[in-house]
Structures are given as C-alpha cells and as structure tokens.
Amino acid sequence: MRLTLGQQLMLLVIGLVLAVQVINVIVARIADVQLVTEGQTTRHITLAGQSFRGGLILPKDQRARYAQSLSNPAIHMEWGPQKPVLEGDVRRPDIEAEALSWYTRAGLPVSEVVVTERGYPTPPPRQGMVAERSPILGLGEPPRTLWVHEFDRKSVPEWVFKEKQAPPGNFMNLLRSQPRVEVHRVALRHDVTGDWLTVYQLRRLPPINSVYTKLIISSLASLLIAIVLLLISRRIMRPFWNLSHQAERLGRGELASQLAVEGPRDTQEIIKSFNRMNERVTQTVDYQIGLLRSLAHDLKGPLAAVQRLVGSVEPDTTKNQIETRLNRVQTNIDSIMSFSRAVMRDGNLEKVDLALLLDVVVEEHYGQGALVEMTDAEPVIVSCRVNAIQRCLSNLVENACKYGGEARACVSKDGDEAIVTISDKGPGIPEDELERVFQPFERLTQHVPGTGLGLTITKTIMVDHGGSVHLLNGPTGGLQAVLRLPLHAYD
C-alpha cells in the first residue's frame, strides 16, 4: 500500500516525536539516577561522619553497641577492626579523597577513609518493629524502652559480607523493572585508637515505573499531536490531491478542469501554473488535431476529382501507375484521419473484459484467413475506451500476421496492471530500431504495404490510458509486443 504525502508526513512526525520522547525519558532517567545516587552518597558520608562524632562521645566499650543500635534493615554499622575488602568491591578513591577532606574540615579525627561499592541481586525482606530495653542512653538516666527494627543486632546481615552474582551495572540496568541493588561502604579510621567505624548501606535505584509512566504519557501526547497534524495535513494536501487528479486526467488526454486557487501562497502559485499549462496544452492539442483533420478533409476533395479524371488517361500502364499512387495517398489520408480520431480520445471510459475484447479481435482476423490463436485466460477487467483499445489490439495482431506470418496472443495480470502479449515468428527488429518504429510514418521495410502510423496510434492510445507498449525480440526469434494497461483508471 502506497502512502500519501500527508500520511508519510504524519508518520514521520509521530516517529520524530516518539524518538524525542524516548530520548527525553532515557536522559531523564539517567539524570534522575545520577541525582539520586549523588544524594545517597552525600547522605551516606554525612551519616558516617555524624555517627563517628557521636561514637567518640561514648566510652570506648560502648561504641560497638552504639553502632549496632543505629543499624536498620538498609544500614549496618560496626565499630572495631575493619573488615577486608571483598573481591567484588570496587573502591572509589575520588570519593575517598573528597570525604577525607570534608571530615578534616569538620574537625573529625579521621586518618583514613575507605569507600567501596558492589552489586547485590536482591535486598533482604523488611522486618517489623519490636520494643527493646536499651541502656545506651543511660548516661545518668534510667534505662528506657526503644522501638527498634526486629533483627539480631549481634549478627551481621548477609548482604554485608556475602557476595552473590548480581546483574551488571550497565545502561540496561537503569531500565529494568527491578534494578539491581548495590552495597556501599564508608569506613572511617580513628587516628588515635586505629578503630574503624564502618557504615554499610543497601541502595536501590529509583523504580522504573515513573519512567514508563512518562513514556506512556508522551506516547498519548504524540498520538494526539498526530491526529491534529493529520487533520491539518489533509487540509493542506487537499489542493495537491486535486492537482494530481487533474494532472492524471490531462495525461490521459481527457479534459482537465480548472482548479480552484486555494491553500498557502506557494500552493496557489503551483495551482495557477498548472491552470495556465492545462489551458495552453489543451489549446495546442486541439489546434494540431484540428489542423490534421482539416488537412485530411481538404485533400480528400481534390484527390477524388483526380481519381475521376484518371479514367481518361491513356495508355493503361500510365493509368495503373497513377491509380496505384493515388490509392497510396488515399491510404495515408485515411491513416491520418484514424490518427486524429485516436488522439481525440473517442468514447468514454468503460469497464470491459480485456480477454474477451482480445478474443473478438483474434476471431475477426482468423475469419479473414490469418494464422492467429489466443491462449485461454481468466477475465481481466479494465477501465478503458473500448474502441481505442480494440484498435490497438487489432493493429498489433495485424502487424504480427503481416510481418511474422502468424500471431499468438495472451492476457494476464501483474499486480494492478493487465498485460497483453502478442508474439510472432518473424525475423524480429534490430535492437537499435525498436523505439524508432513508434515514430509517425516510420517504416523499416517498403516491401509490405502500410503507412507507418499503426504503432504510432497504438502507443498514443496506450499512453493516453496511462499504460505502455514495448517491443521485444524473442529469445528464440520473432517479435513480442507487450501492452501494459492499468486495471483501474482515475475517474
């Protein structure tokens, strides 16, 4: 199916809008992830610094308990010796240097900072809340009951120390419905005791649902834009459709009506130019056809008078020569009249079975003693001027019988075209002469009677119907005439 220019423009706009929206969503997703990641890193470093400052206030034997009390399902803290770096941990020296500089400016006694990150497949399930009596706030106060997350503070969560194969941290991870989890560690070394406060944080990228929601909303917006553009394009393209329709009519030799000047200024200029061209072409063709008809009509009268005077000419030999030449002139005049009628496009477009029409032509020539046969074919319905197409078929069958001794005809369909093939067993035509024979009064042999207008008339009629005619030399000899005619003509 061939799309109109308006439909192509609409699809192009839809594709561009969707491409822009997809790029926008991807860029927004990347920016969102970067923003969230930077915010999490900043909060992680800040939490580690604040927890480190708070732990220094407590006695040394309570610091480990203090760190455990600040843990939750997403954060785990330890105070004591540093745990070794796992194989999957990736150190971030850039963040380490920045964090150490920040801690130094904040007055914290930190001599070294270690920052690592690694992937983890799934986070542990979130647990509930329970009451627990804790003495860590009992600095001169009685113990109080605290609400804490339910997990064993004395055991380290699995995601802290155990490595598992995780999805790669590539671009596609950003677009997964369940992005991979990452374990980040910030470890601060006390410059006096050498103990470490290690803060593990379990991070997950923001859910992708919001990204898909943006994409759906942008797609709906693109569809709405496409509908509006379709309505606008139909209004803009209407003059071009009318122009194409009338140009097709003019190309087939029909009378093309003057188009209404409408649309944008550039479109109006195109329509005005077409109207001027249509008027000039019509006037020129009408003048040429009228001139041919007048010339043929004016010659027939004097020619008839000469033919009447031939009877008084003696001797008989001279009389016969004059009659022969006069008959040739009469034949040429009749051919000119036929050519003018063909150019005038006699008759209206009608739907006809091309196979049946060819069968009529074949039977007519067979009845005149010609060797001609037709291959059985399914009905092929075309819109054409019946008299004109019948004249084309008759010319080609007659040429095949005249120059090739016999004619074989067949009809078929190829897509939206009807194809008529008429072949003979003659000597064929030189390759460089195949197009020249369509010129008016052009003949390759003088030994066979003819005017040289038959193929010219055939090509004129086929072009006027939006079709074509070609001559081909057969692979084993002979000549093939191939006619292609559209199945449906424009009304």
pLDDT at 412: 92
| Residue type present at position 218 | S
Is the pTM here over 0.75, yes or no?
Answer: no
pLDDT per residue, tens digit, the chain (491 aa), is 566 666 677 778 777 877 877 787 778 777 877 888 888 899 999 999 999 999 999 998 899 899 988 888 889 999 998 888 888 888 999 999 999 999 999 999 999 999 998 887 755 445 444 444 444 444 444 554 444 444 454 567 777 777 665 555 555 666 666 667 888 999 999 998 999 999 999 887 766 666 667 667 777 777 787 778 777 777 777 787 788 778 877 766 666 778 888 877 888 888 888 888 888 777 776 666 666 666 666 666 666 766 666 666 667 676 677 777 777 777 766 766 666 665 555 567 788 999 999 999 999 998 888 889 998 788 899 988 888 888 899 989 998 988 888 999 999 998 889 999 999 988 888 888 888 888 877 776 666 666 677 888 888 888 878 888 999 998 888 899 999 998 875 44
What confidence score (pLDDT) does residue 336 get? 66
Considering only the C-alpha atoms of the chain, give the largest distance between any 2 of them, rounded to a whole number of Å.
Answer: 158
H or E, element range at 133: strand 129-134
The answer to whether 3 and 11 have CB atoms below 8 angstroms apart is yes
In this prediction, residue 47 carries a pLDDT of 94
Confidence (pLDDT) at 130: 46
C-beta separation of 332 from 295 below 8 A: no
